[in-house]
Structure 1
Amino acid sequence: MIEGTEYKITVSDDSKALCSAYAEGRAVIGLWDRKKEGQSLSPASYLVESVEDIDDGFLEKVVRRRFGLPLQIKRTDRLTIREFIEEDSVQIPHEADGGKNGEIFSHPDSLRDYIRCQYGFYEYGVWALAENETGRLVGKAGIFPMELSGLEELMPYIKENDTPVELGYHIFTSFRKKGYGLEACKAIITYAGEEISPRIYARIQEDNQPSLRLIKSLGFTLTARTCSESGQGLCLYEWNLP
């Protein structure tokens, strides 16, 4: 049961059974046997080796992925941190400091693709920040794979054998100076440290004093400073799970 609706889930080691259940509109889980060669468990997106590996949280995730229901990541005193839904695009303002990929979230088509590809593959990403009382979006924040293309000078400061992820955030202009950024990011790094990676990075422009203050208050430590060809300084910060 999710939000008052009952969903049926089929667990099977047989592809035909999984295909039939999926065609009937069910969520499906493949039962994988590591000793069995050439086993096909399509169209299952999730596999387990034993039914004992399945708990309520796992079932809910499978159902939400199957039917496009957003996962709730964390709930704080004032905010619900959740996955985006297509309808959120109308609440995203066009702001210059929304990041180079900010426009993705303000168009239904690109947001739909982001939800499908980012959440569907990584199971994490940039999330919506909604006020608990009103449901209004106040910004976006989350964890995403760190893009190092063009920033090779930072590579010596990334831990060896690390698959780096970084924290990003953007509070919409009309909701700033209310502490939403700190509140959301505290909850996000707590969640991400346990569920995604015990090490999180953040890149901040050296002249972005509000973001520098925020990142320091979250317990990030300065790892490196670099300088672009334009002379603009970039700071690399690192957080580790205590």
Structure 2
Amino acid sequence: MTKERRIRIDGTDHRLLISDEPQALLAAKAAGRAVLGVENAVQGDWSLRGIPYVVPGWEYDTEELEELILRRHLGLPWMIDLTERLMIREFVKGDVKQIPKEEYAGEEAVFRSEETMEQYIRSQYAFYEYGTWALVRRETNELVGMAGVSSPGAEIFEQYALRNLPEKSQWLELGYHIFEPYRKLGYAREAVTAIAEYAHEVLSAELLAVIHEKNQASRAVAECLGMRVVEERKLSHRDVTAQGNGTDRKWPQGYLLYAEC
């Protein structure tokens, strides 16, 4: 069976072909169209190689999924959420121009140029369907910061036993960074509250965060979500105070592992 959907995005109509017939899908894809494959048990084992999105049955085809596929096909950002003051969406190349150079930390080097930003968008969002997202002030369309979730890095597993975390289907690390002119306005709490809900409902994940013990602003943001400290690394006399307005995981000492549990 083959169906065609007409979907309006940003005021323009687009078409998506949905089918459980391999030839129809491959022909449409070859013609440059957006497609969604549906597994067909009656036909037995058949290859959907080259079809980027496949669902196990027609009942899994939703309007939200259809819009996501079209946005991926058109290179448009996926909208994560709209809060009272913020639009939380995927980054686009043009956002590079709005990120103040002094705001870059080592882990944010990927956002320094349009080339690396484009690579991040293509590899991170399309493959994982999550990542670091843009925080845009709805009233002025200004980029006020970035926040999102990522797979916990090896440093976390090396430095923390994670033995105090209950077994869950998936743990993701929460990160947030508000740019200097927009701090102390509640944007971080507003953003992470929406992101936590998205992580739970869409990604079926629980959240953790690694925060320096002296970063009271970031600790307060994590605690507003009900996160609590499950493990810590004490400061030694050689450690120095962490700077910044987000979560970090660079030093083995002086850091707290927060988690939802």
Query: Do they fold alike, i.e. is TM over 0.5?
Result: yes
Q: 1:125–1:34: structure 2 CA closer, same or farther, 3 Å change rule?
A: farther
> Does 2:61 align with 1:40?
no
Corresponding position of 2:144:
138
TM-score, structure 2 as length reference: 0.84
Give distance in 2, aligned partners of 1:235 and 1:18: 49
Q: 1:79 aligns with which of 65, 86, 96?
A: 86
TM-score, structure 1 as length reference: 0.90
Q: Deviations over 1:122-158 (max 9, x none)?
A: 1011100001011110000011111133642413234
Matches within 5 A, 1:203-222: 203-222=210-229
Secondary structure at 2:260 match in 1: strand
Q: Deviations over 1:3-22 (max 9, x none)?
A: 12111112223433222212
The letter for the 2-side match of 1:104 is: V
Aligned CA RMSD, in angstroms, stands at 2.1
Matches within 5 A, 1:145-224: 145-149=151-155, 151-155=157-161, 156-160=163-167, 162-224=169-231
Q: 2:255 aligns with which of 212, 221, 234?
A: 234
Contact 1:72 1:82 in 2 (8 A): yes
Q: 1:7–1:42: structure 2 CA closer, same or farther, 3 Å change rule?
A: farther
Secondary structure at 1:185 match in 2: helix
Contact 1:127 1:142 in 2 (8 A): yes
Corresponding position of 1:102:
108
Give distance in 2, aligned partners of 1:160 and 1:193: 15
Structure 1: tracts of 5 or more residues without a match: none
The letter for the 2-side match of 1:154 is: Y
Q: How many residue pairs get matched?
A: 239
Q: Deviations over 1:178-219 (max 9, x none)?
A: 111111111111111111134210110112121112211221
Give distance in 2, aligned partners of 1:185 and 1:201: 12
Contact 1:30 1:46 in 2 (8 A): yes
> Does 2:3 align with 1:2?
no
Q: 1:233–1:214: structure 2 CA closer, same or farther, 3 Å change rule?
A: same
Contact 1:165 1:197 in 2 (8 A): no
The letter for the 2-side match of 1:115 is: I
Q: Deviations over 1:62-100 (max 9, x none)?
A: 11111111111111111000011111111112235x443
Give distance in 1, aligned partners of 2:92 and 2:190: 22
Corresponding position of 1:62:
69
Corresponding position of 2:60:
53
Corresponding position of 1:127:
133
Give distance in 2, aligned partners of 1:238 and 1:187: 17
Give distance in 1, aligned partners of 2:213 and 2:154: 18
Secondary structure at 1:6 match in 2: strand
- How high is the sequence identity, in percent, across the aligned residues? 38
Secondary structure at 2:141 match in 1: coil
Q: 1:49–1:66: structure 2 CA closer, same or farther, 3 Å change rule?
A: same
